[in-house]
Amino acid sequence: MEKLLLLGAEAIAQGAIDGGMSGIYAYPGTPSTEITEYVQNNKTAIERNIHRQWSANEKTAMEAALGMSYAGKRAMVCMKHVGLNVAADAFINSAITGVNGGLIVTVADDPSMHSSQNEQDSRFFGKFAMIPILEPSNQQEAYDLAYEGFDLSEKYKVPVLLRITTRLSHSRAGIERQPLKSENKISYPEDPIQFVLLPSNARKRYKGLLAIQSLLEQASENSDYNTYYPGRDKSLGIIACGIAHNYLLENFPGRNCPHPVLQIAQYPIPYSKIEKIVNECERILVLEDGYPFVEEQLRGFLEINSKIIGRLNGIIPRDGELNPDIVARALGKEVKIYHSVPEIVKNRPPELCSGCSHRDIYNALNETMLEFGKQKVFSDIGCYTLGALPPWNAINSCVDMGASITMAKGAADAGIRPSVAVIGDSTFTHSGMTALLDCVYENTPVTVIISDNSTTAMTGGQASHATGRLEEICIGLGVKPEHVRVLTPLPKYHDEMVKVLREELNYEGVSVIIPRRECIQTATKTKKEIKVKNVEVQS
């Protein structure tokens, strides 16, 4: 079969389609966005009408995927690592309800925070939920594990966490496909109260989850993806998780590592294989792209296993993405650098695009705030977070999706006047609506600027649930119609924007200002592309 050149993210999408998936649910988030986008544009997915529209947020996505699983069909839900925090309630409980159709929760972690607020490691969430975790080391394994993950989920009747990191998600390689499977037919759960987590039933379900733990451990022991490679030099044994295995082999010509190596791609940790390598070797180097998840479990609190080395003893930096050079140094190899970066090279941070509407609203806001004082603007996750950088220095917070409005509320409760929130349209419908309702409930004096570029811009211009209904949402939540003000953010309307901002900043109640102009990136896409997109949205 012809090889496909796919990103790791796309390989997962293709694997899930070929594995008989009936629906994918997701909210865009780097580095996970391309999984769903691939399904949206895939011929088989379109022919089969696999569900592939975006969800409002990761929690709604997780729940909808669980609903599809309830109906007996195979579903995947995708998100970035911090998205799993949003979906956590549904995620943890889905392990207790168990599944009917196979359910894969794909989470893309972002060590080194290329595009994120933190570098949390989702494997902890998988362990917390007590479900199997799959961690592919390369694009082919990403395909294969997505393809086979549904079987694993259906065999043990629990969701499966598929964990990748940025590097695998955003790197291409050739992929060989497996035969296309048919989709599951609708079937109801055998037990009609399987999904009813009333305490009496939840206790039963939880005991069931505990009871299968030994089976999940056995599955890891027997997994073809947890491979023990013998080696003659037993002064060091290496445990390499996921993509770390590649960085290890990069350091040995011909991929011949002289040390025993245990490659881990399926969790729970395979106990006997670990026991074997630990007993055999003098020291154990643990390589993982993320937190010291395996290393910490092996060392234990009392550090009886002092022969375990890795991020916790400092031979590998405690934070940041792994790479072949870090692994080389941990192996005691020299990393040679022949050319250094000349001093004249300057930083080039990302910036708001030329012609972007956020620029105009920040210009107006900054001028207005001169009258009201500094450090009163709370913001959120999106392109507009770049307003924190020069030349604007316009915002004072960026914490999590939707937090701008709620933090502005808390600051207003504390007495800060005016208290301002700047949030994007897609972030608002993701997690800002309930925050606004809190403000309405108490008529808290906050000014919420929903900078509406009618797309999810930061991740590449996905559809926004807010498009065409923002005013109705705000008024429906109880904001007074006269305090919902729509502006056109263009330099020529600067004075008008300042005037409206001033009026609302002086108002002792909830006001919403909606500067609305389409994202310059989506606006400049060719007409043809836009046409294709519209057809897809309607299908």
Partner 1 sequence: MKSDIILSGVGGQGIVSIAATISMAALENNLFIKQSEVHGMSQRGGAVQSHLRISQEEISSDLIPLGKADLIISVEPMESLRYLPWLSENGWLVTNTTPFINIPDYPDLKEILGEIEKLPHHIAINADEIARQVKSPRSSNMVMLGAASPFLDLPYGFLESGIKKIFGKKGEKVVQLNIDALKAGREFAIEHKKS
Binding site for partner 1 (CB under 8 A): 3, 5, 7, 30-31, 33-34, 114-115, 167-168, 170-174, 243, 246-251, 255, 323-325, 328, 335-342, 344-353, 383, 386, 458-460
Residues 6+ apart with CB under 8 A from 164: 8, 9, 12, 31, 106, 107, 108, 109, 135, 136, 142, 242, 243
Q: How far is the CB of 7 from partner 1 (least distance, A)?
A: 7
Residue 170 or 417 having the CB closest to partner 1: 170
Nearest CA among 6, 41, 296, 312 for reference residue 164: 6
Please tell me the distance from the alpha carbon of residue 78 to that of residue 374, in angstroms, as a whole number. 39
Q: How far is the CB of 32 from partner 1 (least distance, A)?
A: 10
Q: How far is the CB of 174 from partner 1 (least distance, A)?
A: 6
Q: How many CB atoms lie within 10 A of CB 344?
A: 5
Residue 9 or 161 having the CB closest to partner 1: 9
C-alpha angle with apex 217: 213 to 223, nearest 5 degrees?
140
Residue 145 or 386 having the CB closest to partner 1: 386
Q: How far is the CB of 30 from partner 1 (least distance, A)?
A: 3
Q: How far is the CB of 234 from partner 1 (least distance, A)?
A: 22
Residue 260 or 268 having the CB closest to partner 1: 260
Which residues are registered as beta bridge partners of 23?
51, 75
HEC-encoded secondary structure of 364-410: HHHHHHCCCCCCCEEECCCHHHHHHCCCCCCCCCECCCCHHHHHHHH
Detail the DSSP E strand segments found in 425-487.
446-451, 484-487
Nearest CA among 124, 126, 137 for reference residue 225: 137
Residue 228 or 252 having the CB closest to partner 1: 252
Residue 31 or 402 having the CB closest to partner 1: 31
Residue 351 or 371 having the CB closest to partner 1: 351
Q: How far is the CB of 115 from partner 1 (least distance, A)?
A: 3
Nearest CA among 134, 156, 148 for reference residue 216: 156
Q: How far is the CB of 17 from partner 1 (least distance, A)?
A: 21
Q: How far is the CB of 359 from partner 1 (least distance, A)?
A: 12
Asked if 32 and 9 count as a contact pair (C-beta separation under 8 A), the reply is yes
Residue 312 or 388 having the CB closest to partner 1: 388
What amino acid is encoded at 71 in this protein? A
Please tell me the distance from the alpha carbon of residue 242 to that of residue 533, in angstroms, as a whole number. 35
Please tell me the distance from the alpha carbon of residue 58 to that of residue 53, in angstroms, as a whole number. 13
Asked if 77 and 62 count as a contact pair (C-beta separation under 8 A), the reply is yes
